[in-house]
Structure 1
């Protein structure tokens, strides 16, 4: 641990770290931001080999001792900084006093799908909160991998990272250049691919047929447009989540959570 406290919010190092909020700078440096005690804690606990440096304020917050211990156990460098420096580094308006800079990774789609039984494929998902929430739900449901396909948001976007609350570091996450690439890889790995789509067959039919009990890769489309006819043709079968009340629809993250859990229940029955 460096005893010197970083105090200049306009320093070159601070500017470089704050630039990681932008995709082009993340790609240029191969680094991304992890903000907040929960996300940094999970990063250190599950993927400490990715961490370059942890920056924290010098305070008495309840999380401070645990972050220090995890970093020390993993041999990760900790730098103390003033609240002004942390604020200048952070993408959030009200940072929580701790930020980590971590190395981005590239995962092979075929490798993360090998042996998988439950997978979420996100196609052209643009909202970072939705993407992060689906990833978090996939983690909670025991999914084996999450694939960001096509023009989906970058999984290392700061808002995606925060909204996963650490789930980004719990399971394999990969990026596929297109939906076709992701679906083909899933089918080659032995998974049945199902498109979540309001024009599909009723979920109860798929449940009764036993479709959900085997290896499944769910494909979730864009929040506003859903999946095109071409997308659905790639996947092969579409399933809809029935609505029994008066609601017009469910948002993407809610529908994805239900479908992932339905599949997890079926696979464990």
Structure 2
């Protein structure tokens, strides 16, 4: 196709509009920015990619992305750097438009998950995306976002997942109490991560697989609930969990970043389950 050269073209404006939630809601599509995320999107058979835009330089540098897209019948359109910049300041020469990829909670539960990250009132897009990435790295089966959490398809969330959004199911719009009840019905224990927790995660690792009565067993199927960056979990949210677990602070730091704490918890469960 002819190279796109006009930064003010209607197509360019339509793509740029997907950075906003109203356009995403109307179209059911979202932006995938940067070579890492786009590479994973075009490789994922379950992800429907509608458009792929690359600069000439990016097409040469990331030829495997163009080839993978072509193998799925996705045509890469070349565009000038000015056009890509007008579409997205974070494209790094590679940009795609895809159908939104969230799934229903029932779909997550149908797979009999053993490790789930449940985000309650998580509003910071960078933290939410990094938890999805950490869950993917730890081998979790799914991530669930409550309806009060950030929009999964916010561009910063998508970038922060570094492509992991296309590797594991992510459910959105869940009611926390209902999600916890559904997990319990399927034999999944629910642990709330909070700095005031009665249980130390290191102690739980020591007894994983042989935990005494009254002590949560990290080797069992587990869902971790992570709260808001600023105020953590509300009292009523903590009360839904089977136990509240803290990550110990050994040094002088006041606290851990939400995504960092989530990574510690998810890897602890992954180790215990292994």
Q: Show CA shifts across 1:193-230 (max 9, x none).
A: 00001121222343322610010000000000111111
Matched residue of 2:255: which SS? Answer: coil
- Conserved? CA contact 1:18–1:91, under 8 Å: no
1:181 corresponding residue in structure 2: 178
Gaps of 5+ in 1: none
2:273 paired with 1:254: no
2:194 paired with 1:197: yes
2:37 corresponding residue in structure 1: 39
Which TM-score applies when normalising by structure 1?
0.94
Gaps of 5+ in 2: none
C-alpha separation in 1, matches of 2:46 and 2:117: 25
- Conserved? CA contact 1:176–1:182, under 8 Å: no
Which TM-score applies when normalising by structure 2?
0.92
Moved more, 239-248 or 175-184: 175-184
Q: Show CA shifts across 1:145-195 (max 9, x none).
A: 000113111111101111111000000011133211221222222210000
- Conserved? CA contact 2:144–2:174, under 8 Å: no
2:98 corresponding residue in structure 1: 102
Between structures 1 and 2, the one with greater strand share: 1
2:123 corresponding residue in structure 1: 126
2:21 paired with 1:23: yes
- Conserved? CA contact 1:33–1:102, under 8 Å: yes
C-alpha separation in 2, matches of 1:254 and 1:60: 32
- Conserved? CA contact 2:18–2:29, under 8 Å: yes
Question: How many residues end up aligned between the 2 structures?
Answer: 264
Q: How do 1:1-269 residues align onto structure 2 when only pairs under 5 Å count?
A: 2=1, 4-47=2-45, 49-59=47-57, 63-92=61-90, 95-114=91-110, 115-200=112-197, 201-207=199-205, 208=207, 209=211, 211-268=217-274
Matched residue of 1:146: which SS? Answer: strand
C-alpha separation in 1, matches of 2:156 and 2:60: 24
**Structure 1 residues 240 and 142, CA gap change in structure 2 (3 angstroms):** same
**Displacement of 1:113:** 2.3
Matched residue of 1:6: which SS? Answer: coil
C-alpha separation in 2, matches of 1:42 and 1:177: 26
**Displacement of 1:67:** 1.2
